[in-house]
Amino acid sequence: MFSDEKVMKISSLDPKYSTILRKYGSNQGSYPCMNLASLYRVTEDPIKKELNEIADHPEKLNGETLEKIKGWCTEYNWGKKFQGKYKISMENTVVELQTAAARFEPLQILIDETKCFSDASRLHKELESVVWKMLGQREHVKLALAVLFYQGKSGADAADDYGSLSVALESAKLIEAGIPSVSDKFVTGLNACLLEMDFSQQGEQEANDVDAFGNPFQAIEEPMPGVKLAGGFDVTIRTMFKEQYCQNRYGKIENASYPISPSMRVKLQASLEWIGKEEQRDKTWMNLEKNEILFVYPFRMPQVPISFTNFFGSSKNLEESFTTRSEKFVQELIKSKDPEVDSQAKWIQIFILRKIDKARTKVVYTRQTNPYELEACSEAWNCGCKNLPRFPFGEPVVLEPLDTSDVLNRFWKANGEMATDRFHPVPRYRGLELLLEPTLPVTADLHRVLEKTELLSPFLGNLCAKDNWNHSIWKHVKNMVSLLGILLDREDIRKEDYMENVPYLYGQLLKTADELHALYCNVVRKGDFPPQFLGSGLYRNASETPARTLNILSQRIMPYYAWAKSYRYKERTEPGKESWRAAWLYYQFERIMNLLREKWTVPARFNEEEKAQLFIGYLAAFPKKEESTINEEVGIDE
């Protein structure tokens, strides 16, 4: 910080300012942010080691140590090459900024404070004086040593190996005036001033030459402004780039493809900076993945601040369910709406940025919506998640939209172990697409889920037959069936209908076969279970050749069917060997076979919607009404 032609203070910059600060100039020299170098250079490893030790343990700093440090200040680090760049920053660039300084007073104040340091040796002397004062008082020792010494490479040419320190020049007068150079206010004001100057230099505008927003416009060749996002990467607002030749097929390129006036460029830059700054995390933006940011914001901010991203959150970091959050969100929007001006409740903008590589960032999803559409979409989503029968492993929760990709990207082994979840062929925002676009085709999503269910179904059938509901896989299965409920609902297949269809009943038949086989093994084989039960062993065949597999099942189940017919009258009550259960399963088998006989149309194979119904039926609980009926018939309370 400068004051009265002196360096008053050296301090570290809070990392949050890295997304705000900008510099005018080039890599050769810039202002008011620039690259300096440490004052002296050391290359000896023992000295480097001692410096690092002092930096880590400043309490060891004493008079003797200070004298030793002074003895290391022998190799001047501000050589001729560095001073050339310094001159570009403090003289040439400042001259370029003089016109802007005449229009933007804070810049003029800063230039006046620093112009006396156009001589590099004077700044070197001032910085060294402040550093020794910091070391003597043991204040910010690590920072002081970083300014004092550059730990160079042994054997490297000192002219090129002088390191770099990123600095921002600050003025005590600007701080007193309430507009420090290290602030969003200063940067925005300077940017606006520079762009207005560019605009005024373009000359007279043609009356009918306007930009995409209706503002007077004349083509300029300067690049669009960049923005540092707190989400983890930088983006550049840009139109179609002339070097991407494929984009010339539209007949327009760069400015002509989407003309934006200088003043509007500033507004766009400032808007993206505002919604993407750290203070707006989990309000107007959130990270979906490492290189992916979701932005959600209204056209007009509410009077009472609310989180716009909370609606789209993930179960991994939120305690409330999607149903609860969606209801609260819509109510908050409607409540905070200003009835006189029709505020933010009218429109809400959603878009997702993905960092493709070091140089490119892409808008991968965009959507404009409103609270009433969000309410309808969330109700449809909740309804889809409930498009399911009862399950013995518990009621499936309403799937979080952002967790949809976790279901689709998780790969399994046949033994119920996760193979991997490292590969993400389905983007994280796929759930948002399904949520916000009810007419979106879901064929590919259904196919991906069925690949997993077909592999896991025999293992899950075994767990069901053994009443093993504590396995960790069930929490993932709940999400799978919730997603299947949504996908079937999108195909207009509701549970009231599909629970009477052949595929669902077929799944229930396989479940009955499993449970009857398990009961037989418990009673006759004394708990010696086979690797696969009867139904689970035929599940995959049933999904491909249902008619042929039904014949095989009818033959294989006959011994167990005959056994259940006689065992049901034994009046056994030992846990796991109850005779009433044999009667119940015998009844279920006959009931389902009678229904299949009435509805059977002998499909050559099930399509994917029918395979989903088969899987749901295989895991679903038996109808409660039928359970109580058979208990009354055999005269035994379950």
What are the tens digits of pLDDT across the range 340-374?
544 445 788 999 999 988 878 889 999 999 888 98
pLDDT reported for residue 251: 64
Q: For residue 537, what pLDDT band results from cuts at 50, 70 and 90? A: very high
pLDDT reported for residue 4: 83
The H-or-E segment that residue 248 falls in is none
Amino acid at 263: S
* DSSP secondary structure letter of residue 281: B
User: What is d(CA 93, CA 574) in angstroms, rounded to the nearest whole number?
Assistant: 91
Q: Is residue 376 part of a domain?
A: no
Among candidate residues 171, 188, 205, the one where a domain is terminated:
188
pLDDT reported for residue 247: 59
Q: For residue 490, what pLDDT band results from cuts at 50, 70 and 90? A: very high
Q: Which of 328-342, 366-380, 389-403, 447-461 has the lowest mean pLDDT?
A: 328-342
- Same domain for 301 and 268: no
Q: For residue 25, what pLDDT band results from cuts at 50, 70 and 90? A: confident
Location of structure tokens 């919604």: 275
- Same domain for 422 and 294: no
Tokens of 550: 């039904």
- Same domain for 402 and 359: no
Using an 8 Å Cβ cutoff, are 158 and 79 in contact?
A: yes
Its domain, for residue 394, covers 386-634
Residue whose C-alpha is closest to residue 86's, from 37, 40, 127, 53? 37
Q: Is residue 442 part of a domain?
A: yes
φ, ψ of residue 420 to 5 degrees: the values are -170, 155
- Same domain for 540 and 477: yes
Q: Is residue 492 part of a domain?
A: yes
Distances (CA, A) of 569 to 561, 580, 632: 14, 8, 14
The highest-confidence range among 109-113, 257-261, 573-577, by mean pLDDT, is: 109-113
- Same domain for 56 and 91: yes
User: What is d(CA 382, CA 360) in angstroms, rounded to the nearest whole number?
Assistant: 37
How many helices (H) and strands (E) the chain has is answered by 24, 16
- Same domain for 501 and 629: yes
Helices 120-136 and 141-148 cross at an angle (nearest 10°) of: 150
pLDDT in tens, 240-295: 566 666 656 656 666 667 778 777 888 888 888 889 988 899 889 999 988 899 99
**CB neighbour class for 98 (10 Å; exposed up to 12, middle 13-18, buried from 19):** exposed
Largest CA distance in the chain: 107
- Same domain for 43 and 154: yes
pLDDT in tens, 135-192: 999 999 999 999 999 999 988 998 889 999 999 999 999 999 999 988 888 988 888 8
Among candidate residues 341, 369, 397, the one where a domain is terminated:
369
Helices 443-465 and 608-619 cross at an angle (nearest 10°) of: 30
Using an 8 Å Cβ cutoff, are 122 and 78 in contact?
A: no
Q: Is residue 203 part of a domain?
A: no
Looking at every residue in the chain, the average pLDDT score rounds to: 86
Using an 8 Å Cβ cutoff, are 459 and 414 in contact?
A: yes
Cα Rg of the chain, angstroms: 36
Q: Is residue 535 part of a domain?
A: yes
Residue 629 has pLDDT above 70, yes or no: no
Q: Which of 316-325, 421-430, 438-447, 493-502 has the lowest mean pLDDT?
A: 316-325
pLDDT reported for residue 412: 93
pLDDT reported for residue 206: 47
Q: Which of 172-181, 220-229, 545-554 has the lowest mean pLDDT?
A: 220-229
Q: Is residue 194 part of a domain?
A: no
Residue 219 has pLDDT above 80, yes or no: no
Number of domains in the chain: 4
Residue 204 has pLDDT above 50, yes or no: no
Among candidate residues 275, 294, 320, the one where a domain is terminated:
275
pLDDT in tens, 514-533: 999 999 999 999 889 999 99
Distances (CA, A) of 140 to 54, 115, 127, 145, 278: 11, 27, 14, 9, 26
- Same domain for 313 and 405: no
- Same domain for 172 and 111: yes
- Same domain for 183 and 39: yes
- Same domain for 430 and 365: no
| Helix residue ranges per DSSP H, 424-466 | 430-436, 443-465
Q: Is residue 495 part of a domain?
A: yes
Residue 200 has pLDDT above 80, yes or no: no
Q: Is residue 375 part of a domain?
A: no
pLDDT in tens, 450-484: 999 999 999 999 999 999 999 999 999 999 999 99
Location of structure tokens 């100039």: 25
User: What is d(CA 308, CA 296) in angstroms, rounded to the nearest whole number?
Assistant: 6
Segment 429-458 mean pLDDT? 94
pLDDT reported for residue 435: 94
- Same domain for 460 and 402: yes
